[in-house]
Structure 1
Amino acid sequence: MTTFEAALLGFVQGLTEFLPVSSSGHLVVVPELLGVPSPPLAFDVLLHLSSALAVMGYFARDLLQMAKAYVSPRSMRPAEVRFWRRLLVFLVVGSIPAGVAGLVFGGFFENLFSSTLAVGLFLMVTGLLMLAADAVLERSVGSRKTGRDMKVTDALVVGLFQALAIAPGLSRSGSTICAGMFLGFERRSAARFSFLLSIPAILGAGLINLGDLRDGFSGQGGVFLVGAAVSFVASALAVYGMLRFLRSHRFRPFIIYTLLLGAFVVVLSLA
């Protein structure tokens, strides 16, 4: 792998990890379209860990508040202690389905990563999910929920959608944001919880594949680190941009993009 290829794949992965367009799908499709070698597993793991560090940096205050609510609760108002403690519980509950799915069905879905047809179909499913979520939220009656209205059952439902997104081409961020919107949460609140929920999911997958990361570093460490640095920056920009975008916009551009790209990939795979 060249330095340029590492930087390109790092940019693609970092940007698409938090945009609702499927990073896993793009890491399959982009090398196929550009004739770039598919990245080794160690490189893929490193890119995702870089994305996790980026989102942890962005939400550093939230993470510190959750820790503070348990370690030093007397320095906070009781209502804030309850909120941050509950949020941590919700993140744990929401992470369970993906953890179980990864351990039980991980091998099956890994085989799908070699199928561009599957990637194309799941990209189209991502687009249809966003189309449905926009429609549901626009037709909802009454005030929309925020993070302070979340319940354990809400976290579990979002977690189930995250577990489904183990499929290549089905966007993790898109699925979980849509799940929140289906439950009546405003777009930005759904996105914030989705991004926080990505932290344990990405770190957990990285720990499982830590051995591959260590073994794959030999001889390509410098090239890998270039890709990781680009992924970190792209991930941070994607989180910031997506949260700003969702303040006043629907999913329309992402719906069009995923449906068209998915259809193109399906046609390409059948040609």
Structure 2
Amino acid sequence: MIVVYLILLAVIQAVVEFLPVSSMGHLCALEQLMGINHGTGLLLEAILHLGTAAAIIFLFRKDLKKIALELLGMFMDLIGNLNIYIYNKKTGKNLNYARIVTGTYRKLGALLVISMIPTALLGFTGRRLALLAADSPIVPGIGFLLTGVLLLVTDLNKSGGKKGPKEASYDSAMWIGICQGLAVFPGISRMGLTLCAALLCGYNRKFAVRFSVFMSLPAIVGAFFTEIGNFGASEMTVGLGFAYVFAMVIAGFVGCLVIRSTVAMVQNMKLRYFAYYSFAVGIITLALNFVL
């Protein structure tokens, strides 16, 4: 039966991961209804997210490859500029330095690196609270309601602008990274917070959605490595470990099937509809926990 539950969780994760409605909240709420405990910490959630991250990498591999190459180029230019600095100091000459951030993909890479800093700090320090919240009967429901409020306010405010990566600022990337770090709690949608933050910073909807998707990758990988030690937990068996990995594969496969349609949905639909959905799920989650 646990395998059937894990397959269901994997499909839910894949479908809602790319929507601003908190996949973590859905997982925790369903786990409580199914009687699945967190004896292995948040390892299951981390593995399922890793599966959908693989779908992102596969479907956006061309863009991600360009970003990775530009980040490598930036690193090499930094090393070159350091050598030029040392040479100028020794010889008294004034050779020109290479410009580090040039072009769209370098700027996007720099923005992603900046956003990773607060995400990593908040995510690491808040992981214990996140585990407690995952076992709470009310936190996921409250998180859904808070996410709905944020989405509704952003929609009614008609937030968003024309900024793309070239016009984006590093301080806005930092704020968006902070929002992603705060979304470690179930029910608080990572994409919802980062998308709303990007729109409030004046980004256009298409770039805001893509930036939110891309910045999730280092956060997901980082979360997995913080939870990987739970493979040695007393509750973990060989069979359960294989079931977790199987669920990850299912999440990745389903994610590949739905990611383009769900991302397009987020780019084109009004955020208020996702807000209404979050309100409904939040109310149902709270009601079920008080009734059962």
Give TM-score scaled by structure 1 length.
0.87
Superposed displacement of residue 58, structure 1: 2.0
- Tell me the equivalent position of 1:37: 36
Would you say the 8 A contact 2:14–2:258 is kept in 1?
yes
Helix, strand or coil at the partner of 2:218:
helix
Superposed displacement of residue 96, structure 1: 1.3
Superposed displacement of residue 262, structure 1: 0.6
Superposed displacement of residue 189, structure 1: 1.1
Q: Give the whole-Å Cα distance in 2 for the aligned partners of 1:87 and 1:217.
A: 42
2:274 aligned with 1:246, yes or no?
no
Superposed displacement of residue 46, structure 1: 1.8
Superposed displacement of residue 22, structure 1: 0.8
1:33-57 per-position Cα deviation (integer Å, ceiling 9, x unaligned): 3x35346443333212112111111
- Tell me the equivalent position of 1:188: 206
1:238-257 per-position Cα deviation (integer Å, ceiling 9, x unaligned): 43123212343212331111
Distance 1:83 1:5, change over 3 A: same
- The 5-angstrom pairing of residues 60-139 of structure 1 reads 60-71=61-72, 81-137=102-158
Distance 1:45 1:105, change over 3 A: closer
Superposed displacement of residue 72, structure 1: 6.2
Q: Give the whole-Å Cα distance in 2 for the aligned partners of 1:109 and 1:3.
A: 25
Q: Give the whole-Å Cα distance in 2 for the aligned partners of 1:159 and 1:249.
A: 24
Would you say the 8 A contact 1:28–1:38 is kept in 2?
no
Q: Of the two, which has the highest radius of gyration? A: 2
| Structure 1, unpaired ranges of 5+ | none
Superposed displacement of residue 95, structure 1: 1.3
Superposed displacement of residue 29, structure 1: 1.0
1:207-263 per-position Cα deviation (integer Å, ceiling 9, x unaligned): 112222466462234422331122112333443123212343212331111101111
How many residues are aligned here?
Answer: 263
Give TM-score scaled by structure 2 length.
0.81
Taking only aligned residues, the RMSD between alpha carbons, in angstroms, comes to: 2.4
- The 5-angstrom pairing of residues 54-65 of structure 1 reads 54-65=55-66
Q: 1:255 aligns with which of 254, 268, 275?
A: 275
Superposed displacement of residue 109, structure 1: 2.5
Q: Give the whole-Å Cα distance in 2 for the aligned partners of 1:16 and 1:247.
A: 15
Distance 1:45 1:72, change over 3 A: closer
Superposed displacement of residue 68, structure 1: 2.5
Q: Give the whole-Å Cα distance in 2 for the aligned partners of 1:159 and 1:29.
A: 26
| Structure 2, unpaired ranges of 5+ | 75-98
Superposed displacement of residue 183, structure 1: 1.2
